Amino acid sequence: LMRKLSPQLVHAFSSALLQQKRGGERDDCLKWLRYYLDFCAKYHHPPRDADSLSPFLQKLASKNQSKAQQEQAVYALTVFYALMTEWPREHAGDRAQMDKEAPWDACVERLKKEVALRQYSPKTLATYRHWISQFAKFLKHKDPATVNAEDAKRYLTWLAVERKVAASTQNQAFNALLFLYRHILKVDYDLKDDVVRAKRTRYIPTVMTREEVDLVISYLPYPKNLVAKLQYGCGLRLFEALNLRVQCLNFDECILTVHDGKGKKDRAVPLPRTLLAELEAHMERVKKLHQKDLDEHYDGVFMPSAFDRKWKHAGKDYPWQWLFAAKTRTLVPESGEYRRYHMHETQYQKALRKAVLKAKLPKRVTSHTFRHSFATHLLQANYDIRTIQVMLGHSDVKTTMIYTHVVQSKTLKEQQSPLDFPVSPVRG
């Protein structure tokens, strides 16, 4: 993306730094600008949108960047936003390209409002934004006002025929465009049978044995090993495990409560008794970190939805603290506050990948494999499928039924061919 910035714009950026007597920071500020543009390109955030700054700073915090570095990044991007507003069109080729993309940026802004209105998850917003961005590129940023159903048909067919995407990927794009047409563009979205559909394959999840689970966990450092144990021991999705707060644990009843799981649903699962001592020791560390934050007059943890407006200081209360907190606090540019976020998903995923490589397993193992193993091992222990459905938080038992295929494959060696059946003697 740096190639898209004209030399005039880079010069203007440097001049703005000199005017504010921060010319000595030019190289560092350009570095933060480059990182920011790379981040926007990778995660499909509009570069000119100041709302893209908060997720960028959370990314910096997950990379253990210091407060001073985060503040310098905020300053650099504030200068960039100002230049994008004031930069004269006749001197910036990149501004012309951004003006061409502006109507689609407006679609993204409306997308945020529509998603927030329906209280969809941030992951849903990110997914829809990704596909709308890809759709706009496919149409070469054609004016959204002239987009019709034929454009969607061409794009979805192109995904299946040219890109050869999986059926689930094409369905994801289909749902994103459906939302775009219905709620943002207000255009008819009747595709009928004109779209070439990607062939749906039957997916059987990868499952580890109990020995393999223990082996992988043994290579994970603390506290990531505890995250993996909770994933396997309670059947948690990764985001559910990382979103756990102190108040989610009930040691007296040995119950773990998952709040705002997939579909904004809560559920309670048994807390493994073998983890009680380890969890209690971990809670002592959480208490020490919380006290340290209080002593340093921090602004609390990030809170869900509008809790900050309802209970202004609840983010500093112990029950709301993250069970797996990030190492550093994150700067909130709108308020100038430093708040603590939970451990970033990528940190855990990188550690897990290293652990799997060290374990030398002949399987493709991800964080979700612990959840698959949890369900399969319960099924092998003769747990009722309905019980497993509730513990996993599935809306439909058909989703849980996929694990019956895994159990069948485990007992394949016990099945017989008809040729191996004993032959009854022929009566005379």
Q: Which residues are catalytic?
A: 237, 262, 368, 371, 394, 403
Quote the tokens at residue 93. Answer: 């080729």
Distance CA 329, CA 120 (A): 26
DSSP alpha helix (H) spans, 271-310:
276-295, 307-310
Q: How many CA atoms lie within 13 A of 163 on its CB side?
A: 18
392 vs 398: CA distance, rounded Å? 12
Terminal-to-terminal C-alpha distance of the chain: 88
Residue position matching structure tokens 């930069």: 87
Cα–Cα distance for residue pair 166/159, rounded to 1 Å: 9
Residues near 330 by beta carbon (within 8 Å), at least 6 away in sequence: 57, 58, 60, 61, 70, 302, 338, 339, 340, 341
Of 326, 302, 357, 365, the closest CA to residue 223 belongs to 326
Region of 21 (left: φ > 0; alpha: ψ -120 to 50; beta: rest) is left
